[in-house]
Structure 1
Amino acid sequence: MAKIKNIRTIPAIISVILISVVTLSSCEDFLNPQQELYVTEDRLYSDWYEYRSVAMGMYGLAQNLAEQIVILGELRGDLLEITPNAEPELVEIHNFNISRTNRYASPTNFFKLIQASNNLIRLLEREQPQVLDPNVPVSNYDRLYGEALCMRAWAYFNAVQIYGKVPYIHESLVTMEEIEAFANSPVSYVDSVYIEFGLDGYYNDTIYNRPVELERNLYDTDMIINKFTKELETKIKAVGVNHYIDNQDESWGVTVWNTYAMHTLLGQMYLTKGDLLNARRNFERVIYHTSHDETRYQLDFTFGLHNWRNIFMGVDNREHILTIPFNKATFQQNEFQSLFNSWGPHTYQLKPTKNAIDFWETVWRTQIIARRTPPSRSEMSRIGQPTDFHRGFGHSYVYMRGSTPLDEQDYMNMINLRVLGDDVGSRNIMEGVDTVVFKYNIGKNVFDQDADFIIYRAADVHLFMAELMIYLRYTDQTTGSPTTDYRFALGYLNDGAFDQLRTSMNRSQLGVRGRVGIGLTLTWNGRITNRWDDDQIELDDIIYITDPYTNKIIGFKNFTGNLLAKQRYFVDQVLNERARELAFEGKRFYDLMRVANRRNDPSYLAGIVSSKYPAGQREEIYNLLLDPNNWYINYFE
């Protein structure tokens, strides 16, 4: 006897963004204004485009999660802090004292997305059963089914990172009222309109209602990862409806769940769990793809140097893997500009921390170390040039004096005075200046409020690969002993040299740091002119410690014979690079969680996060975060 919720007489209530798939001309028109759409089953099953319209609702619901994911992922980390203008809910998050009524802590938007995904998955499985048969040729229904499965897995994975444990929502619960009642029930919930069908199926006259008790199970991170990695690996035949056929706009392919986005999600879940081999397998499906476009997801000069800012100017499938677009023209807006900007009508409630600014301003290029024995005699023979100029000032952040931005010349004067040790002169330039997140303002007018929400992009995956490759070991063919090959990890991070280690590849790779001119000296057209400076991250036995503002050598670490120390040092550098590359994109706190959990060392996260607080509060936050339970919003326990 098949069991399914009776929705023939109860309309499938799905909050969607209704679109006309055939007539849209670009990804900016991907979604129309949000509305409630009541789709009867007779209407839904009559036309493929009705299915597609319902699926678009999932992306509208994902839009509603953008601010929540960014705020919870950044404000609880070390890169973002509150301003005096911050509303009480942001103050709660900043202080790790979050109430159940805090709208940024509410799981409701996750439940809505899971509900919409469940409904579409269930309807496709019932009305288009070929999606369950791997031997049937792939159709658009299979691709749509893959989108819904990925969206649901992504919603659960993000939710469990926030809440620590989340209730598994039974597919028979089709309204938000039912889901919220179930989620808030102590142990179990009675679904009073459950339907049991006779042998003749849906239209049999013998159907009857009977109450069914649904057990409320809370899934932790490992349970969510185990369930949904298995589901995505075994149930999906294809992902992502191809809209390019209709509108000749390839950017559409990365504004819906697609094969590359699915593999990135799988890789991220496996990496979080510590399954490095499966994480690598999925990330390599992105980097070493067989697409006709060999520049896609390769860190070449496409977004090199000053072009890095173009990543945020629009949707581009050479860097973007999955992006949720917004468009003011169709009333799809968010609060990023309002929260971050200090000019115009904006509220300026959040700003970069000093820690965040230092990540960019204390990175150095083109320095050369004169190495001597003993290492204490080594010195900088060439100091080099400070600041990550292509990702930092003017791109990820700006300095503002009132409503006037600090210009580039004053900025460089401040940096150079600091290098010379003239702190007084440097402070004079910065008198009355404050920091502002600028990444969501690139290419935007003051009233736009429609910056896109990038979920995954190429640099994200390359940095994931660097992080995991440092731990992977293989058997040396000569000695038969287990060993670690640092070259791949260093190549992803520094200069793209991992590409040279794969003779089958013929792509121009610059690495995450290299494409913005750190670790490589590039000409305006991306040509490499010098590889011999000491601004690459290295894994030598001797690692020199330098003053962050003058770049003078002030000490060294001796890692001789200490593989674990080298690995941890390298991962620290990867996370520093993720801060420079991905700041304010909602990833920082979960990066710190992942590494702290891998090391079984809560003090790692506690020390980094608490460092942004003033002295009187720093110890309090540090002690609070020594307990991993306090990393989560314990909403369901």
Structure 2
Amino acid sequence: MNELRADLMDVTSAATPELEKLNQNQIDESNQWVTPLQFYAVINSCNDALANFDKMLAENKLTQDEYNERYSDIGALRTWIYLQLLNIYGSVPYITEPLVNLSDVEKYKGQRENADQLLPKLIAFMRSLPTLDDYIYSDLVNGTPNGYSLDPMFVSKRLVLADLYLYNNQYAEAAHYYRLVMGTDETSGNLTMRRQRYRLYNYAFTSTSGEPGWYAVVFRDGHIEDENGLINTWKYIFTDPPSSRKTSDRASMERIWYIPFDDKLEPVNPFTKLFEGYQLKASDYAMDSLWGKPMRNQFPYDARGKGSSFNEKGLIIKYSGRNSGSSLARQHGFWMISRAAGLHLRYAEAANRAGYPYLAWCFLNNGIRNSKYRYQKPDGTYFPDDSCYVTGTSPFDPYPLDYRFDARYPREWEQNAGVRGRAFMPVVNFPAGLTTQLDSIQWLEKQIVREAGLELAFEGQRWSDLVRIARRLNKEGRDGFRFLFDENIKKKYDRAKIPAPNFTTNEQSWYLPFYE
């Protein structure tokens, strides 16, 4: 529900009073959307499982390998939940042991830790886990019950650790773990997996019929400025059937961690009532001012918005995809927790802050097979292509491994399209007047978080992105409140002609109250 408190989502006349008050930041303890109890119920289940895994290992009821997988997975899930709680409440009790009775709960009252206190503890815990590997061939994810692959439903542990580092402003460490995930299948013997897994792959599409077999926004050959020539397979990210990380279909090349919902299975999609019931919608400000920008051929709007994320009335449709895989199941939407485009944008944010703004700019725009990495000799002629397109300062000075990508033909990053490039959006260029690298970094950071809003809208990222940047600006002595409120959130309320929430320069005013 933090998405509603940001700038991309708004209430409709069908919204409940509780949603309206949440939108206005007029919160009291009776509002069901404010209570942290359900989060802590899951945390307590995690704590109970972790304690029992320790006991089962000691009693030889689990092998070491079985323990390592289970303990790491539940531990990472608990850590991810705490990160969400920090985004919502700002400071929370950190409970790591199972609670059995009321007296156990009482001792934690008032013992809340803010992000500066808790993030280092969460990072240390994640680094202590027995394994950060994903489940690919583990017995835990064998089989496809009701037609659903299990492996994408499990937490991506390296992504969680990377996010923790990013929130804690440890940019090199964040870039390292994001790069590890981006490098999935870089050494695979399967050419499709090696060149497309989490690469934001795109290729020139010149056909006069059909559509590309990958996710992109393109125009049919000969109809570059014709609305009827628009081909949008990007929107299928949210409607294609679920798949396994072991496969080479396009869904597995984009989706990293997600939960499919099914009308015939519990739990049903919790977003249906909110979105398909038209209680929440895309904000008028976002539809007009953000997605209303033209594509690079002057097509009048960003196709990731209308027709993909919402319809003409603003009804949010990202969660409405339906597929019938078998008589036992009828898939109805996803909870998309992380996917490749978000990974690239988070990596770009970290790499930018780590001192590689041009590399970050490439991932934001048209990818890394870029003119900067087509190296010139002192006489102005170019090095051969087999000496170019490896990120660095020259063919003889590649970047360190965490910032090194090989885009030579036919290597793994050759067809990386960039986030905006894949969506047929124009390049966002560094403006004139940026005289230092720090100027470029600070300017580019805001472009990256803006692009994340366009690409990842309604996927649960917007509020945390805005608050993360705002807190960072405050730490640097810059005006984080102005960025959060004046430059972003307030515009939604101004466009809707309703009073804006009472956020202030005090960071705690940005968060929901934590009712114990």
Residue by residue, what CA displacement relative to the aligned partner does 1:41-98 show, whole Å, maximum 9, x if unpaired?
A: xxxxxxxxxxxxxxxxxxxxxxxxxxxxxx22x1000001111221111011101111
Q: Name the CA distance, whole Å, in 1 between partners of 2:132 and 2:160.
A: 15
Classify the secondary structure of the residue corresponding to 1:453. strand
Question: How much does 1:538 deviate?
Answer: 1.4
Q: How does 1:581-592 map to 2 (within 5 A)?
A: 581-592=455-466
Checking the alignment, whether the CA contact within 8 Å between 2:152 and 2:258 is kept in structure 1 is yes
Comparing 137-146 with 94-103, which one deviates more in the overlay? 137-146
Q: How does 1:125-524 map to 2 (within 5 A)?
A: 125-129=54-58, 139-174=65-100, 178=102, 182-183=104-105, 185=106, 188=107, 217-239=111-133, 240=135, 241-243=138-140, 245-247=142-144, 251-257=149-155, 261-290=156-185, 292=188, 293-294=193-194, 295-301=196-202, 302-305=214-217, 306-313=232-239, 314-315=241-242, 316-341=251-276, 346=277, 348-358=278-288, 361-366=291-296, 384-389=298-303, 391-399=304-312, 434-443=313-322, 450-473=332-355, 485-497=356-368, 500-501=390-391, 502=404, 504=406, 506-507=411-412, 508-518=415-425
Q: Name the CA distance, whole Å, in 2 between partners of 1:172 and 1:441.
A: 37
The residue aligned with 2:396 is: none
Q: 567, 574, 587: which one pairs with 2:441?
A: 567
Code of the aligned partner of 2:301: T
Code of the aligned partner of 1:225: L
Tell me, which stretches of 5 or more residues in structure 2 are unaligned? 203-213, 218-231, 243-250, 325-329, 370-388, 392-403, 475-479
Task: Count how many residue pairs are aligned between Structure 1 and Structure 2.
Answer: 425
Code of the aligned partner of 2:266: F
Change (3 A) 1:563 1:589: same
Code of the aligned partner of 1:595: I
The residue aligned with 2:208 is: none
More strand by share: 1
Question: How much does 1:223 deviate?
Answer: 2.5
Question: How much does 1:444 deviate?
Answer: 6.6
Checking the alignment, whether the CA contact within 8 Å between 2:285 and 2:496 is kept in structure 1 is no
Stretches of 4+ aligned residues off by more than 6 angstroms: 615-619
Question: How much does 1:325 deviate?
Answer: 2.3
Checking the alignment, whether the CA contact within 8 Å between 1:82 and 1:350 is kept in structure 2 is yes
Question: How much does 1:386 deviate?
Answer: 2.6
Question: How much does 1:625 deviate?
Answer: 3.6
Residue by residue, what CA displacement relative to the aligned partner does 1:212-263 show, whole Å, maximum 9, x if unpaired?
A: xxx8631211222111211111222255444454459894211112xxx111
Question: How much does 1:284 deviate?
Answer: 0.5
Comparing 243-252 with 348-357, which one deviates more in the overlay? 243-252
Code of the aligned partner of 2:481: P
Change (3 A) 1:92 1:276: same
Change (3 A) 1:562 1:165: same
Tell me, which stretches of 5 or more residues in structure 1 are unaligned? 1-70, 190-214, 368-383, 400-433, 474-484, 519-534, 543-557
Residue by residue, what CA displacement relative to the aligned partner does 1:142-191 show, whole Å, maximum 9, x if unpaired?
A: 211111101110111111211111112251414xx53xx655x4xx37xx
The residue aligned with 1:85 is: 14
Q: Name the CA distance, whole Å, in 1 between partners of 2:498 and 2:15.
A: 20
Structure with max Cα Rg? 1
The residue aligned with 1:633 is: 512
Q: Name the CA distance, whole Å, in 1 between partners of 2:286 and 2:493.
A: 13
Q: Name the CA distance, whole Å, in 2 between partners of 1:172 and 1:354.
A: 45
Code of the aligned partner of 1:78: D
Classify the secondary structure of the residue corresponding to 1:86. coil
Q: Name the CA distance, whole Å, in 1 between partners of 2:175 and 2:252.
A: 21
Q: Name the CA distance, whole Å, in 2 between partners of 1:219 and 1:353.
A: 33
Q: Name the CA distance, whole Å, in 1 between partners of 2:79 and 2:449.
A: 25
Question: How much does 1:115 deviate?
Answer: 0.8
Q: Name the CA distance, whole Å, in 1 between partners of 2:442 and 2:268.
A: 41
Code of the aligned partner of 1:96: N
The residue aligned with 1:104 is: 33
Question: How much does 1:362 deviate?
Answer: 3.0
Checking the alignment, whether the CA contact within 8 Å between 1:138 and 1:237 is kept in structure 2 is no
Checking the alignment, whether the CA contact within 8 Å between 1:605 and 1:625 is kept in structure 2 is no
Question: How much does 1:582 deviate?
Answer: 0.6
Q: Name the CA distance, whole Å, in 2 between partners of 1:182 and 1:101.
A: 24
Please state if 1:611 is matched with 2:491.
yes
Change (3 A) 1:616 1:328: closer
Checking the alignment, whether the CA contact within 8 Å between 2:281 and 2:314 is kept in structure 1 is yes
Code of the aligned partner of 1:516: A
Q: Name the CA distance, whole Å, in 2 between partners of 1:90 and 1:267.
A: 32
Checking the alignment, whether the CA contact within 8 Å between 2:18 and 2:31 is kept in structure 1 is yes
The residue aligned with 2:503 is: 624
Code of the aligned partner of 2:310: Y
Classify the secondary structure of the residue corresponding to 1:278. helix
Checking the alignment, whether the CA contact within 8 Å between 1:470 and 1:489 is kept in structure 2 is yes
Please state if 1:595 is matched with 2:469.
yes
The residue aligned with 1:481 is: none
Bigger RCO of structures 1 and 2 (CA < 8 A, at least 6 apart): 2
Residue by residue, what CA displacement relative to the aligned partner does 1:378-417 show, whole Å, maximum 9, x if unpaired?
A: xxxxxx333112x122110111xxxxxxxxxxxxxxxxxx
Change (3 A) 1:616 1:267: closer
Change (3 A) 1:615 1:364: closer
